[in-house]
Structure formats: C-alpha cells, structure tokens
Amino acid sequence: MVGRVLVLVTILILAQTGSLNSHQESGEWSCDSKADIHIEAEFKPGRITLDGQVDDWKEIDGSAFSLLPALDPHSDKAYYGGKMTLKASHDGKEIFFMLQVEGDYTYSEGYNDKAASVAIMFQIGENASYHRMGGCEEGRDTCTNKTCKGHEVDLMHFSIGKAIPGRLYGGNPVDNSEGNGGDRFGHLVDLYGWNPHCRYLDGIGPSANDSSAQNDWKGTWWHSSLTHHSGFVKDDSPYSSSNQSGAYYFEFSRPLRTMDRLQQDAQFTIGRASKMSVAFWYPVDGKPWHGSGHFSISCHWIPLNILPDGSELTDVPKRSPWDTATAFSLLFSVVAFGISIFVGHRVSRTKNIAFTQMDNL
C-alpha cells in the first residue's frame, strides 16, 4: 500500500517536471526574461469601470514586468521608473486590461512624443513571432495579406497627447462609420501588422481598403498626481501640472470576439490561451520619444489565459495527461481501496458489527 502511493507520487512529480520543461523558449531571438510567466484574465463580471481609477482592480492579481528597450533588451538599460504592473480580467463579453507604471507627470498638449504612450500586441496568425512584430520577411512594398499570410499581429496603440485624463477614447461613431481602426479624438487606435514596416489601421491595406473594419477598443488614462474631479474638460487645462512624481494608469477594454473578417483582430476564447506583449514609450529626461525607442515587458510572447467561470487560477496552462486532478483521484481511489479491504477484513473478523458503525472508523 505505502509502496503504491510512493510510485504514484513519483509519477506525479515526473509529470510536473515534464510540463515545466516544455515551457522553455528556443530559437534565434534570445533574452533573459522569465520563460514561464503568464497573464491570467479571471472571470470578474461587474467590477471594472473604465474611468482611469484603479481601486476596482485591487482584488485582481497582476504581474510586474521590468521594462527593457525593445530593440536592445538589457537590464542595465531598463526604464528608470521601475516595473510595469499588468492585470487582466473579463466579464464573459469584454476583456479588460490595466497597466500601471511609475513616471513623473509630463504632458505637452498635442505632442504625443512628449507624453507617455502604450501599445498592446497580440498574435493573430499562427506563424506571427513576437520578434519583429509578426516577422514577415517582405519589405514595405511587397507585404500584402497574401505574401505575409500567417504573420498577422493585432495592435492597440494609445498616445495620450490629445487625450483628457479620465475620458474615454478609441472606437467612436465618426471613425467607425468610415470603416477603419482610427481615433481622431484621442489617438487610441486599432491596428494590425506583419512586421515593423508593414503596419496599418484596421480596414486599411497596402493595395486595397476594406471599409468593413472597426476600432474595437475603448480606453482611458490617469496620473496619480491629478486630483480626483467630477470630470476634466479641455479648458480645465489638466495638462499644466508638471513633473510631479506618481504613477500612470491605463485601462482598456475590447469585446472578446469582434466582427473582423480580414485577420486584423485577435479573437479571444474563454478557456483558451492567447499570446500578448506590452510596449511603453516615455520622454526620458524630457527628450521626445521616437517610434522604435520603446520599452517592452518581454522579449517573447507572454501567454494570456482567459479563465472560465469558477476556474482555479493555475488550471489553464496545458499539462501532460497526468495532471494533478487525475493523479489525486487515482491516489484517493487507491487509498479508498485500501480502506475497503481493511473494513472488509474487520467486518469479516468481528461478526457482530453492524453497517451503521462505519461512521466510527
């Protein structure tokens, strides 16, 4: 009996080790990031309001990531403000993201490159790599949805240079009526791409435009140095307070599924994992940033697990068939089998014992 349990425990340990090994990255793009980290989007309906305030995220677990230069990921060049915290949740229809990062308040109205900016990237095509944003080998003149098929990535980019803190930006009736992923009010745009040189607003293409696309994102931002307020408008000039220390908060939402028909949006499925990463631009030392001068939370895709209702936090990552539940139920059935032999033995020895006395065992 003890021997059998030991064998089972050994099998369990071997199965667990096997699943950890299979998480490791391989390939030409190497960096020091942890390979086993992942984001959990738990089912938390009715919690999150997209208002830039993050108190409603308190009970949702997140992960903190160092921000390293995307093109040169070395820890001695990390963003001086520290780590970015990333949280996700969903309500069965929409998925929500919260990004929080320390940074002095800096804002020049109308100048995106003198303010903080964030982007989220998701894998769409099965052959889209993290490195080089999809990794299609074609140049700007030759990339098309045929030559780069399978390398599609989905992008959301929010530059706050025109966006009033606490107000909602992204998909709006004016831009959506033109059938593309633009946002003329706050520059929270919905894009897709095949590599860094082949990026387009949803609906816009290198050879043809398709006016069926939409900007499916909504989002807002806030800085902790701002005093809470019934609602800023442009004339309040919330931009003037300068260089105060604190943290930036970004909140975003998008439907789990969109009406995209062109492979320009990632589609999320409850109970499945997607792949994502986050980029951050900041005018370090007051110097305007440029497009490729961004920091990134990782140098490979990070799994994003969309958890079903009632799911345990760690259940979604794929395990070998010997998962914990199976092994434990086997362990219990062996123990139960042992007990039944023992009981049978006792019952057969003490003939007067009634069945009701089982409870006393």
Ligand X SMILES: *[C@@H]1O[C@H](CO)[C@@H](O)[C@H](O)[C@H]1NC(C)=O
Binding site for ligand X (CB under 6 A): 125-127, 145-146, 149-150, 204-205, 208-210, 242-243, 262, 285-286
Nearest distance, CB of residue 105 and ligand X, angstroms: 9
CB of 225 to ligand X, least distance (A): 13
Q: How far is the CB of 106 from ligand X (least distance, A)?
A: 6
User: CA-to-CA distance for 64 and 163, rounded, in angstroms?
Assistant: 26
Closer CB to ligand X, 8 or 262, in the complex:
262
The smaller minimum CB distance to ligand X, of residues 18 and 139, is found at: 139
Quick one: 237 or 314, whose CB is closer to ligand X? 237
Least distance from ligand X to the Cβ atom of residue 152, Å: 9
The number of CA neighbours under 13 Å toward the Cβ of 322 is: 14
Q: Looking up tokens 């803190």, which residue turns up? A: 165
Distance of closest approach, residue 214 Cβ to ligand X, in angstroms: 14
Q: From CA 301, how far away is CA 109, in angstroms rounded?
A: 33
Complex with ligand X: residue 203 or 219, whichever CB lies closer: 203
Q: What is the CA radius of gyration of the chain?
A: 26
CA distance 39 to 205: 31
CA 94 to each of CA 48, 90, 244, 334: distance values in angstroms, whole numbers, following the listed order: 11, 6, 34, 44
Q: Measured from the CB of residue 19, what is the shortest distance to ligand X in angstroms?
A: 25
- Phi then psi for residue 222, to 5 deg, are -160, 160
Task: Copy the structure tokens of residue 47.
Answer: 């919690």
Looking at the Cβ atoms of 211 and 320, the one nearer to ligand X is 211
Q: How far apart are CA 130 and CA 151, in angstroms?
A: 10
Cα separation, 291 vs 284, in Å, equals 14
Task: Give the whole-angstrom CA distance, residue 166 versus residue 227.
Answer: 11
42 neighbors 304 (Cβ within 8 angstroms): no
Query: Closest CB to ligand X among 204 and 307?
Result: 204
